[in-house]
Structure 1
Amino acid sequence: MEMVESWCKGIQENEKIAPVRSLLKAFRVACHLAEESDEKSTERLTTMSKAVMNKVMVETLTNMDGILRNLMNLPAYGGKKEKLIEVKSTKNWKKYQHLVKSYLGNTLHALNQMTDAKDISFTLKHLTRSSVFFAAFPAFLRKYVKVALHFWVTGSRELSFASFWFLRTLCVQLGSDCLDECFKGLYKAYVMNCQFVNATKLQHIQFLRQLFVEFMLVDLPTAYQHAFIFIRQLAMILREALNMKTKESFRKVYEWKYINCLELWTVAIRKYGLEPDFKPLAYPLTQIISGVARLVPTARYFPLRMRCVRMLNCIAAATDTFIPVSMLLLDMLEMKELNCPPTGGVGKPADLRTVLKVSKQALKTRSFQEACVSSVIDELGEHLAQWSYSVAFFELSFIPAVRLRNFCKGTKVERFRKDMKELIRQIEANSEFTNKKRATISFLPSDPATSSFLEEEKQSGASPLSKYVATLRQKAQQRNVSLTESSVLYGAEPSLSDKMLAESDEEDEGDEGGAVFNSFYLQQKETREKPPEVEKKQKNKKKPKSLQQEAIEEDIVEDLVLSSDEEDEPMDDSPLPEETFEIETETPKKKKKQKTAADGPV
């Protein structure tokens, strides 16, 4: 420990290169502690204690970026690729580049060995400061991107954010060198992670969705190009289902992967829908979602149709565009499953957020009927409330009001009739609210002055429907909380607070590391102490790649796996073959890899 402290003191006081070399040598040993070494110079270090190893790791990761920048005459923070290219032609770079390569290479080795989320987050957080150095080492850059993508999709919330911030900083500082690769990698990793959904995993998927949308802000024109390709692929899958009308083609659309991809782009449109670079994507995405909702118009797919309606409402609100959502909802009310008495008893509480299709037995339960009718009222209220200040509200709401009255006459459930009558009363009250104002104006519907119609009332939320929908949201939230402890609603994505983003962008002066790498030390010690014969067998075995890593390296995502609700009940009684969900990308040209001295082994 005294030796390590003397190195650190020598670096701070004398600014000599010898202590830096010694610290990096100790850092290499700490990262390879599980491996045998016959070098006499490292004999004392290979037996380092847990405290010494932790000190070496923390000191190196915390201070090495500043040391290397000082040696290369680089800015203390940040920097762009162009600046490093200038530095590469200097004498200092040729003299000290091996130190940079040693630091990055050994850190990469350590990341591949770590299993504790705190260790990985700490390492990525401090390595983010050295992102500019990757411009000189393309081989390291590719490997680090793959590692970060794996941690982003499989890690905890903290680790996912640390990986996201590392990738974002790489793209900001290096630009096109890794931007396309990161966009494709993030999307593929997201697709692979959302094959199955439950109330718990839904939160993680939504968090990844928010991180991906935040990542688009790095370069919106480039994000638009990738979004166009991926949305076009979704459209081609839907077109195939509409043309072929087979169970295999339907299954490609009615699965969690496809729906979660639609929700990803819906969130992107909701955030960037008014940006000139992103607004053109709203129309094709709306057409795809509408087609998905109408593809198989049966009661068993009520949950999927409701998700599509929520997405359409989000797009309409973000782009201030009218989308005829009411017809999708009113068609659901006219299906016989909601107009006949429940013969399956009360049934289990129906959570429409975590399924795409319900069983035939669930269709006949009272809880399912209540969940469907409540969802229709909520989403129809949201749709009409958006246009409750429009000069044409009376015309927009006339047909929905007529069909709701017909439902009230036909339904035999008093509770449904009561809720529908309340919605009808609010629609009529809102019509009177807008018609009263219409009687005092003289401009035509095509006049630009219509945009200022009821503008003050809209800002204050004074319309009857707006107030009514606010109460509906509270009731819906209470229902969801009663169904599951994790209240996860589409359209209420977990946000990335400014504080969270700011903390990752600042230097954490008070972070001393503590006992961060204790688990890493124990892990390497156990590996080192394994019997030779066991270790030899493990070396001979080829380590299989994880699914996430394969998804990142391949242009085709792995074969689809049916979600639990679809697995039990396919669309008909015949078995369904496996299908593939291909990511459409340009085939890269094969180039011969030329290893430079800078990209060689550490």
Structure 2
Amino acid sequence: MLGVPDSCRKEIFLKSQSSSLWIKIRPLMKSYLRSCLLLLNQVTDTQIIVFILSRVKASAVFFSSFPSLKKLLIKISIHLWVTGEEDLSLFSFSVVLEIVSKLHSDWYDTCLMKTYKAFVGQSKFFDSANLKRFQFLENSIVELYSFDLQNSYHHILASLQQLAYTLSQAIKTKKKEELIKVCNWQYINSISLWVKFLVCNLQNHDLLPLFSLSVVVINGIVHLFPGHRYFPLRFRCVQMLNQLSLASGIFVPVVSLVLDFVEHKVSNADSSHVKSFNYSSVLKVPKYLLKQYKFQEECILSAIELLSAHFSTWSYHISFPELAATPLMFFKRLHEKLTNEALRRQVKRFIDQVELNKEFIERKRGEASFSPNNDVAIDSFLLMEKNNSRSSFTQYYVSVQQKSQSMISSNQR
């Protein structure tokens, strides 16, 4: 009727608002949009809600004339996104994206703040059973915040600064109530969210301040909770450091953090009667598990997984032999002490793969003719081989990843 195309943005629509036709139908449009929003708050059938959302989405540009309705639409859409089932959540988020796309200048900041707040609120209910659900929520926020980095940057920086402040208070006081503010799913999922954002955007944007602050916060968490009971929390933190290092190409030391996982003495008692425990659903393990051989096994396998990821990132670097030296000595001593044959084989395979790559780098390094002071030559060392990614260690790391994913999937069943 107004001749407004589906792809119309707010700026184009505003030009038609002075027409006599719009003045005539404006009350009808407001009534229609309000009725749609009222229905969304009343109906419970998913198909009906999705249908109403589809109509609202098609009319998104008209909400620019009705700020109160626009605010209500954002509130309802975000609520359905964070609480709804898969299809409903997906469609609700598409409405949020439509609002951002059509009405960007006015409501982008509002959408950023409200989606993040909703995500943090929902994070208290995190467990391994709804892992995919939270991954979708994370991906949604990353997409939204990546829409306009110039505006979203300041929101992320403020969030990271708040996380850093909370951590500093816990480090300073060591009070139980302050420690709980850090060792909880809301805090950990928040830092994990920004790590995922950085991983997606570091290569194409200058986000070094966010990267540096994230690394500081994550390292602070690891050092604040050094005990073996916090193994799941520390594992997640090292995972995030590995992800940041891979995405940025900046070396982030994790070896000493990982080796702490396996410096734990337990009895060699038979653990066949112990039920399997899902470490991905907790940040702190029960005390009784610390006495079980299965716990030591989990720590060792996790250490291998994390070091494999770390070494895979730097497997072509000229300093790989020095990087691998300490872990090799550590795991060789560990291999001699282990009595479980299956675990011994996995440790031995890790040692063999690291040594193989170490010898390869040493051989190539011996063939190099440039000076150790030649930074350009060092940066381009084995660049062609790295781009091909066909090394034995790369293939080994892929197998470690596949096995880890298989175990995670089995734990979620």
Compute the TM-score of the two structures, normalised by the length of structure 2: 0.95
1:96 to 11, 14, 25: 25
Deviations 1:248-304 (A, max 9, x none): 111111111111111111111111112325343111101111111121211111111
Q: Which of structures 1 and 2 has the larger relative contact order (alpha carbons within 8 angstroms, sep 6+)?
A: 1
Secondary structure at the aligned position of 1:453 is classed as coil
Q: Matched residues in 2 for 1:480 and 1:103: separation?
A: 47
Q: Does structure 1 conserve the Cα–Cα contact (< 8 Å) formed by 2:221 and 2:237?
A: yes
- Cα gap change, 1:326 to 1:124, in 2 (>3 Å): same
Equivalent residue, structure 2, for 1:483: 411
Deviations 1:39-72 (A, max 9, x none): xxxxxxxxxxxxxxxxxxxxxxxxxxxxxxx2x2
Equivalent residue, structure 2, for 1:448: 376
1:316 aligns with 2:245: yes
Equivalent residue, structure 2, for 1:437: 364
Q: Does structure 1 conserve the Cα–Cα contact (< 8 Å) formed by 2:264 and 2:296?
A: no
Q: Matched residues in 1 for 2:366 and 2:32: separation?
A: 75
Q: Matched residues in 2 for 1:407 and 1:350: separation?
A: 24
Q: Matched residues in 1 for 2:410 and 2:132: separation?
A: 17
1:142 to 71, 84, 87: 71
- Cα gap change, 1:257 to 1:342, in 2 (>3 Å): farther
How many residue pairs are counted as aligned between the two chains? 412
Shift in Å, 1:332: 1.7
Supply the AA of the counterpart residue of 2:293: R
- Cα gap change, 1:355 to 1:93, in 2 (>3 Å): same
Q: Matched residues in 2 for 1:135 and 1:209: separation?
A: 28
1:261 aligns with 2:187: no
Shift in Å, 1:415: 4.1
2:3 to 59, 64, 73: 73
1:179 aligns with 2:108: yes
Equivalent residue, structure 2, for 1:63: none
Q: Matched residues in 1 for 2:369 and 2:402: separation?
A: 39
1:364 to 283, 288, 291: 291
Q: Matched residues in 2 for 1:418 and 1:201: separation?
A: 34
Secondary structure at the aligned position of 1:336 is classed as coil
Q: Does structure 1 conserve the Cα–Cα contact (< 8 Å) formed by 2:320 and 2:358?
A: yes
Q: Matched residues in 1 for 2:75 and 2:32: separation?
A: 18
Q: Matched residues in 1 for 2:291 and 2:271: separation?
A: 5
1:271 aligns with 2:271: no
Q: Matched residues in 1 for 2:310 and 2:137: separation?
A: 27
Q: Which runs of 5+ in 2 are unaligned?
A: none
Shift in Å, 1:307: 0.8
Equivalent residue, structure 1, for 2:320: 393
Q: Matched residues in 2 for 1:123 and 1:279: separation?
A: 42
Q: Matched residues in 2 for 1:410 and 1:253: separation?
A: 36
Deviations 1:318-361 (A, max 9, x none): 11111111111112211334xx4247664111222111111111
Shift in Å, 1:430: 0.3
Secondary structure at the aligned position of 1:104 is classed as helix
Q: Does structure 2 conserve the Cα–Cα contact (< 8 Å) formed by 1:349 and 1:368?
A: no
Equivalent residue, structure 2, for 1:341: 268
Deviations 1:524-580 (A, max 9, x none): xxxxxxxxxxxxxxxxxxxxxxxxxxxxxxxxxxxxxxxxxxxxxxxxxxxxxxxxx
Shift in Å, 1:403: 2.1
Shift in Å, 1:480: 2.5
Equivalent residue, structure 2, for 1:252: 181
Q: Matched residues in 1 for 2:355 and 2:391: separation?
A: 12
1:222 aligns with 2:148: no
Equivalent residue, structure 2, for 1:105: 34
2:13 to 72, 80, 84: 84
Equivalent residue, structure 2, for 1:231: 160
Supply the AA of the counterpart residue of 1:92: L
Q: Does structure 2 conserve the Cα–Cα contact (< 8 Å) formed by 1:433 and 1:463?
A: no
Supply the AA of the counterpart residue of 2:376: P
Q: Does structure 2 conserve the Cα–Cα contact (< 8 Å) formed by 1:344 and 1:361?
A: no
Any residues of structure 2 matched to 1:166-205 within 5 Å, and which? 166-205=95-134
- Cα gap change, 1:277 to 1:432, in 2 (>3 Å): closer
1:465 aligns with 2:388: no
Shift in Å, 1:164: 0.9
Q: Matched residues in 1 for 2:176 and 2:340: separation?
A: 35
Q: Matched residues in 2 for 1:346 and 1:378: separation?
A: 26
Q: Does structure 1 conserve the Cα–Cα contact (< 8 Å) formed by 2:10 and 2:64?
A: yes
Q: Matched residues in 2 for 1:194 and 1:284: separation?
A: 22
Q: Matched residues in 1 for 2:59 and 2:15: separation?
A: 17
Q: Matched residues in 2 for 1:288 and 1:213: separation?
A: 19
Deviations 1:405-426 (A, max 9, x none): 2333444544444332321221
Q: Which runs of 5+ in 1 are unaligned?
A: 1-69, 486-602
Equivalent residue, structure 1, for 2:348: 421
- Cα gap change, 1:482 to 1:175, in 2 (>3 Å): closer
Q: Matched residues in 1 for 2:159 and 2:148: separation?
A: 17
Deviations 1:478-516 (A, max 9, x none): 32333232xxxxxxxxxxxxxxxxxxxxxxxxxxxxxxx
Q: Matched residues in 2 for 1:399 and 1:285: separation?
A: 26
Secondary structure at the aligned position of 1:353 is classed as helix
Most deviating of 160-169 and 403-412: 403-412
Q: Matched residues in 2 for 1:408 and 1:346: separation?
A: 25
Q: Matched residues in 1 for 2:16 and 2:412: separation?
A: 56
Which 4+ runs in 1 deviate beyond 6 A? none
Supply the AA of the counterpart residue of 1:183: L
Shift in Å, 1:152: 0.8
- Cα gap change, 1:482 to 1:142, in 2 (>3 Å): closer
The structure with the larger Rg is 1
Secondary structure at the aligned position of 2:205 is classed as coil
- Cα gap change, 1:123 to 1:231, in 2 (>3 Å): same
